[in-house]
Amino acid sequence: MEPFRIRKAAFLTSVGLAGGYPEKRPEIALVGRSNVGKSSLINCLTGNGKLARISAAPGKTRLVNYYLVNDSFYLVDLPGYGFAQRSKGEKESWGRLMESYLTSGRVDHLFLLLDIRHEPTGEDKQMFQFLLYYGIPFTIVATKADKVAKSKRQQAANQNAKLVGAPPWGLPFSAETGEGREELLARLGAVVAEKSSAVQENEPEPLTEA
């Protein structure tokens, strides 16, 4: 079987509290602290360094951003959390937006991004509890792996996964070097294939004339 590849990807739409989600397709979302590297991961996976805008100032993503990939599924960039300079009102709005999205039943798999250099924060742990509560399948991705010695990367990724409350395994990833890219693409391909086949199985049989 050929490895899964992203042939095309384009920004589709942004969604806020008012809703307006696109038509349902397999949906894989990315979540993590502000500046953890969600945009860089999207650009690395799609091979398009300009697809998701990377800001030097954290906390810029305030909406749920949809990217249509291979005309068949969505990559969804969720607003980052843990940005201290946000006002109380902004944080409450973020909470409502995230709850609205996570309870929508749309997300098929979620990549929880953790900075490999630091222990998970209380907000990281809270986000993981949300995933468990809503029953969302997940993969722990330890970003910025190039900032840690190669011999220590897997151990650090596993330790962060354990500390956040997940089984002790995380995927080291670096948008700078491409480490972990093939593994993430394989995970994407498996999720999309599983969800696509499930949709086909649930489609009603065509009507035939007697």
Tell me the CA distances in angstroms from 110 to 84, 107, 124, 167, one per residue in order.
24, 7, 13, 15
pLDDT digits (tens, 9 = 90+) for 64-106: 999 999 999 999 999 988 865 667 777 788 889 999 999 999 9
User: Burial, 55: exposed, middle or buried (Cβ in 10 Å; 0-12, 13-18, 19+)?
Assistant: exposed
- Strands (E) in the chain, as ranges, are 9-15, 27-32, 64-69, 73-77, 109-115, 138-143, 171-172
Distance CA 177, CA 43 (A): 13
pLDDT value, residue 175: 96
pLDDT value, residue 116: 98
Q: Are 207 and 76 in contact (CB under 8 A)?
A: no
Q: Are 138 and 191 in contact (CB under 8 A)?
A: no
Q: Are 170 and 161 in contact (CB under 8 A)?
A: yes
pLDDT digits (tens, 9 = 90+) for 158-205: 999 999 999 999 999 999 999 999 999 999 999 999 998 876 565 555
- For the chain, how far is it from start to end, CA to CA, in angstroms? 41
**Lowest model confidence (mean pLDDT) among 43-47, 60-64, 137-141, 147-151:** 60-64
Q: Are 80 and 58 in contact (CB under 8 A)?
A: yes
What CATH number labels 7-20+27-107+127-155+163-175?
3.40.50.300
Percent of the chain at pLDDT exceeding 90 = 73
Calculate the average pLDDT of the chain.
89
pTM attached to this predicted model: 0.90
Domain boundaries, the chain: 7-20+27-107+127-155+163-175
147 pLDDT more than 80 = yes
Helix ranges restricted to H, 76-121:
88-102
The closest alpha carbon to 69, from 207, 205, 210, 196, belongs to 196
